[in-house]
Structure 1
Amino acid sequence: MDKFNAVNERIKRDYAEFLREADQKSEATVRGVEKAILRFEEYTGFRDFGRFNREQAKGFRAALSSPDDENKRLGNSTVLSTLKAVQRFFRWLSVQPGFKSKIDTNAIAYFNLSEKDIRAATSSPTKPSPTMDQLKRALESMPSETILEKRDRAVFALIMMTGIRDNAAASLLLGHVDIDRQLIVQDPKTVRTKNSKLIESVLLPLGPEIEGVLFSWVAYLRDELRWQPNDPLFPQSRHRIDPLKGPVVDAIKRQVWSNSQPIRQIFKQASTGAGLPYFTPHQVRNTVVEYAYLTCRTPEEFKAFSQNLGHESVVTTLSSYGQIPLVRQRELIRNAGKSRGIDEKIEMILARLGVSGD
């Protein structure tokens, strides 16, 4: 069986260029789409895309949901994302010159999963996110003797106070920190923000011990090392060879991280050090929303938190990160409709009488 089709390769290159340049998709997204299309080619034996038909679509959908030769089965979410990616590819191909008469647009619909399968692919048990107290405990447990340890604690503190995405944090520069305004400016010209959005994140007031971790790191870079605004906020580790010890990692170099893997490793070590289950940097965004639930008193305040996370709509915040933790969900439901405690009643009465309870 062929494992390469020259005509298909040219089409895939054109589609990848469309995704990057016209659709402004990230490189990671493009690679995922290419992998999905390759799965389809492998299923059809690398037949020309111009010979696409409904039987191929139906057969590919069934094959993805079946165990392979090693009795392994793709996860529901992988099946759904693969089918959606291939479906979008053929929709694009169906309007390209030379393919309008070849591609049966009705056949493209046969990639669709049933509503039941879509629910299975998009539903999963909630994973508990760390509480703010747990994050504080993890930060306190992190060592702070070496320059690398101070950097790692500053990364952790920043994500706690903003909920910034890890890839954006990895690409921040020193000039993006505005201590006077308690602000982190995620400038898409240099910061790897989602969808290249400008995001201005005000630091959460979590206390001077948390702020001090970040601010002291910034002061060290600016005042002691004399680094400039265009230097990295979280520089890479410097590797060197010690004549006696061999490979050593004990310093920093003026270069931003190329990806977020180092930050995920920092969080893994911090979780372990505090005796907590591993939580990812991205889960801290849920923690920030939970913090907003507990502290916000008005819709305007919650909208401010939503903007802080880079969301244009509060609906995005609520649907993506607004899941109420199961413990809190149980507490709310079990106590729904119950009368207020005596202390709360007294406070209400005093407030109506205009008398302070102090």
Structure 2
Amino acid sequence: MHKWQAYAGRFEPVTVRAHLRSIRMLEVHLGGKAFDKVTPTDAAAFRDHLVKLGQTPKVDGGLSNSTIRHHASQVRQFFEWLRIQDGYKRLSQNILLNLELPKAVRAKTLPREDRDYLTIEEAEGMLAKMPGSTIAERRDRAIIACAYICGLRAAALTTLRLKHIDMQKKEMLQDATEMRAKNGKSFRSFFFPRTEAFQQVLGEWLTELGALGFTEDDAVFPSLNDLTYHAPGAAPVSPMQSSAAVGNAFKVATALIARCCTPHSARDTLVYLGNELTSSRKEERAFSLNLGHARPQIKETYYAKMTDEQRRSTIEGLCAGTQFTAKEQSMVLDFYESRFERGSKEYKYAKRLADRRAAARDGEDVLE
């Protein structure tokens, strides 16, 4: 178990604790039987034990379908690791097979209800409605803005430091050595297209932090008690220990537009935006990698790897304002054909698109 915990140190502590609970649960079920003596029959008995718990009412100690699936998966992953360790290589492959839950149990999780998320235009409108009269409100606005600029998860957002953001280069660094990053992964993310309004809000927040004396090692989104003047030479302002402030910011912000979206919904928004904007495999891969996805839809092992500079160039091309969705192209044409009522919501939006097209065009019609 000590060796497994050394191996599992690559994961988030909360993930390690969840796996340990499942392994300890197995140990209790086996009555302390040594792992090198575990048989396929033992694995099948543990699987049946989980199924029975799933059929037992919670008031009597039963578990949810989701919980038993996690227990089965985590124990299976433990044995996958254990079978390649010295002294355990003779363990039967059937142990892994017998830990698989019945198809009927797995099917109970389907269909999954789709998460609610905003389009990038809806998110921009929500940001505009957020108040900013107090420093707490301005911090919340900046949290929302930052989430949509690069799609960082809540834990990573909470542990951002000023040195991780470069507004001039339009990029953020997820540094797993200093941030709570999923699976301990570090990567560089470039600002996504259509996020100019969000970038402005984040830039204003960073300027405000600078006026308070914050420097590169200080947290971007510290607790409210730390949002005071920071004297030169003082110890760095530490990030918050919990991501609750990020979740609360999304709860309050989305309520302004009668929605209820989680911090992760910003990533859904960016995935949807990528589906709308990208038109080539190269652009799709750049968008996916920019979200920190190790595996785009097509396994990268079958293609040449995309370097950071190639990804930057592709993302910058999408940010140039020359990429339009089919719906936007139609709206621009309708605008030039005067099909919108002047002053209407559709007219104003189409005019913005037409202006952006004109500003980005270098003598060639991007709609052709």
TM-score by length of 1: 0.71
Native 8 Å contact 1:174 1:230 kept in 2: yes
Decide which moves more: 26-35 or 303-312.
303-312
Which residue of the partner structure matches residue 221 of structure 2?
234
Measure, in 2, the Cα distance between the counterparts of 1:238 and 1:220: 16
Q: CA deviation at 1:43?
A: 3.1
Measure, in 1, the Cα distance between the counterparts of 2:139 and 2:73: 41
Q: Does 1:90 align with 2:79?
A: yes
Which residue of the partner structure matches residue 304 of structure 2?
none
Which residue of the partner structure matches residue 116 of structure 2?
128
Q: CA deviation at 1:126?
A: 2.4
Which residue of the partner structure matches residue 253 of structure 2?
270
Native 8 Å contact 2:12 2:184 kept in 1: no
Q: CA deviation at 1:266?
A: 1.4
> CA 1:218–1:121 in 2, change beyond 3 Å: closer, same or farther?
same
**Aligned equivalent of 1:185, options 148, 157, 173:** 173
Measure, in 2, the Cα distance between the counterparts of 1:158 and 1:270: 14
Q: Note the residue ranges of structure 1 that are not aligned, 5 or more in a row.
A: 1-11, 240-249, 318-339, 348-353
Native 8 Å contact 1:36 1:85 kept in 2: yes
Q: How does 1:18-57 map to 2 (within 5 A)?
A: 18-20=7-9, 24-57=10-43
Which residue of the partner structure matches residue 67 of structure 2?
78
Measure, in 2, the Cα distance between the counterparts of 1:284 and 1:206: 13
Native 8 Å contact 2:160 2:179 kept in 1: yes
Which residue of the partner structure matches residue 59 of structure 1?
45
Which residue of the partner structure matches residue 261 of structure 1?
244
Measure, in 1, the Cα distance between the counterparts of 2:365 and 2:269: 37
Which structure is higher in strand share?
Answer: 1
Q: Does 1:202 align with 2:185?
A: no
Q: CA deviation at 1:210?
A: 2.7
**Aligned equivalent of 1:308, options 266, 275, 290:** 290
Which residue of the partner structure matches residue 143 of structure 1?
131
Measure, in 1, the Cα distance between the counterparts of 2:287 and 2:113: 25
Measure, in 1, the Cα distance between the counterparts of 2:153 and 2:183: 12
SS at match of 2:223: strand
> CA 1:114–1:310 in 2, change beyond 3 Å: closer, same or farther?
same
Identity of aligned residues (%): 27
Q: CA deviation at 1:356?
A: 11
> CA 1:306–1:35 in 2, change beyond 3 Å: closer, same or farther?
same
Q: CA deviation at 1:139?
A: 2.0
Partner AA of 1:226 in structure 2: G
Native 8 Å contact 1:201 1:308 kept in 2: yes
Q: CA deviation at 1:291?
A: 1.0
> CA 1:91–1:303 in 2, change beyond 3 Å: closer, same or farther?
closer
Partner AA of 2:262 in structure 1: T
Decide which moves more: 81-90 or 203-212.
203-212
Native 8 Å contact 1:93 1:99 kept in 2: yes
SS at match of 1:65: helix
Measure, in 1, the Cα distance between the counterparts of 2:365 and 2:202: 43
Native 8 Å contact 2:126 2:256 kept in 1: yes
Measure, in 1, the Cα distance between the counterparts of 2:32 and 2:113: 38
> CA 1:88–1:308 in 2, change beyond 3 Å: closer, same or farther?
closer
Measure, in 1, the Cα distance between the counterparts of 2:75 and 2:229: 43
SS at match of 2:156: helix
TM-score by length of 2: 0.70
Measured on the aligned residues, the alpha-carbon RMSD in Å equals 3.5
> CA 1:75–1:131 in 2, change beyond 3 Å: closer, same or farther?
farther
Which residue of the partner structure matches residue 328 of structure 1?
none
Q: CA deviation at 1:267?
A: 1.0
Measure, in 1, the Cα distance between the counterparts of 2:171 and 2:83: 47
Native 8 Å contact 1:237 1:252 kept in 2: no
Native 8 Å contact 1:41 1:47 kept in 2: yes
Measure, in 1, the Cα distance between the counterparts of 2:295 and 2:78: 29
SS at match of 1:255: coil
Native 8 Å contact 2:174 2:181 kept in 1: yes
